Amino acid sequence: MTATLLAGCLVLATSCGADAAAGQGAASSGPATSVVATPVTTTPTTGPKGPEPVKPTGETINTRKVRWTKAKPLANGRKIALTWWSGVAPCTVLGRVKVKETPKQVTITLYEGTSPKAKNVSCIMIAIEKTTTVTLKSPLGKRKLVDGAKP
């Protein structure tokens, strides 16, 4: 049964290719058409060396809060490396980072938007993992780290 199924698939695949090839050389009264299969990926991407490091650009259009997915203390808690999923620049850039420190917690909010330089630019819809590092006024210590974009 497997051999019959395989043979049927092979006949079908070769006959489809033969019809398309035969139609290319023959004169036709209708317009020529072709179908190109484009692979679609829904998997977010991370660069070959990990998340793409970015710095705040200053100003953005349509600015919004963005949730970060990871926070890693560095330099004895004086710095925090944040990681999040984003879009491609200049369509999606890190505009600014707001840090609010209290004795009990540190709230960090990322703000993204479109670069003002992105006029007449086509934007592809793909997720990219990005990272930025924030310096605190005092070490994190035992303070709770909070994402300011979470409700």
DSSP structure string for the chain: -HHHHHHHHHHHHHHHHHHHHHHHHS--SSPP----------S-B-BTTBSEE----S--EEEEEE--SEEEEEGGGTEEEEEEEE--TTTSEEEEEEEEE-SSEEEEEEEEEE-TT-TT-------EEEEEEEE-SS--TTPEEEETT--
Q: For residue 47, what pLDDT is reported?
A: 58
Instruction: State the Cα angle at 87 between 82 and 91, rounded to 5°.
Output: 120
In sequence order, which residues have a C-beta less than 8 Å from that of residue 128 and are 6 or more positions away? 44, 45, 46, 47, 52, 85, 86, 87, 88
Q: For residue 44, what pLDDT is reported?
A: 57
The domain segmentation of the chain, as residue ranges, is 52-147
- Residue 30 pLDDT more than 60? no
Q: What is the pLDDT of residues 92-127, one digit of tens each?
A: 999 999 999 999 999 999 999 999 988 888 889 999
pTM for this model (two decimals): 0.68
